[in-house]
A and B are shown apart, each in its own frame.
Chain A
Amino acid sequence: EVQLVESGGGLVQPGGSQRLSCATSGFTFSNYGMSWVRQAPGKGLEWVSGISGSGSTTYYADSVKGRFTISRDTFRNTVYLQMNSLRVEDTAVYYCAKDRLLNQWLVQLTFDYWGQGSLVTVSS
């Protein structure tokens, strides 16, 4: 059974940093691209960042480019999102999501499994 479990959310001050983790199981982690998608309270979904199965390529939304960094650890089957210079508008539930198609080198950005989400609140 595929499982994605996010952790690391919480309250952080504007300008601060936070690292989210997404522990995975039930599939061959290195074969699939992974992404982070966020949802501000009462708002819609926003794709944040993606990383290929190999970890060799990463992609970011313009809204977080230069502030957020996605990475993955094949030994721990975990994907991370390092968030720096956080802003109030970054407040959201952050979901990790698994690509549907097997591909080590690209991200396909269609998600067949999602985690339960981790709330990040940026506030003073």
Chain B
Amino acid sequence: QSALTQPASVSGSPGQSITISCTGTSSDVGGYNYVSWYQQHPGKAPKLMIYDVSTRPSGISNRFSASKSGNTASLTISGLQAEDEANYYCSSYASSSTLVFGGGTKLTVL
């Protein structure tokens, strides 16, 4: 149950696009189409942004998109806005009905 690998930080200017990667193994990201992405603002609970690799829940902006290739999943945020500044975590279903999270990526909007 090793954590998925995410970059510690990414940044971008308003209006730009950024991509956050999430690398696992064939036992988690590569083995299941159950990758999710969560946004967490400081002091707040996480919020589901993407599930099942690329599906946005109702109410989530279409500026958020995601995909997966092999053992690596990616979250892309287009048209960056100030309110997107937050920590982002990927998660993946793993073997034996367990869940593994990424270490988290701090997004800074310059």
A110 touches B46 (CB 8 A): no
A61 touches B98 (CB 8 A): yes
Q: Which residue of A lies closest to B52 (CB)?
A: A110
Contacts of A37 in B (CB 8 A): 46, 101
Minimal beta-carbon separation of B2 from chain A (angstroms): 10
Contacts of B34 in A (CB 8 A): 108-110
Report, as a range, how many residues of chain A touch the other chain: 20 to 34
Which of B1, B52, B97, B104 is within 8 Å of A45, CB to CB?
B104
Contacts of A95 in B (CB 8 A): 45-46
Minimal beta-carbon separation of A57 from chain B (angstroms): 8
B positions within 8 Å CB-CB of A: 1, 3, 34, 36, 38, 40, 45-48, 51-52, 57, 89, 91, 93, 96-104
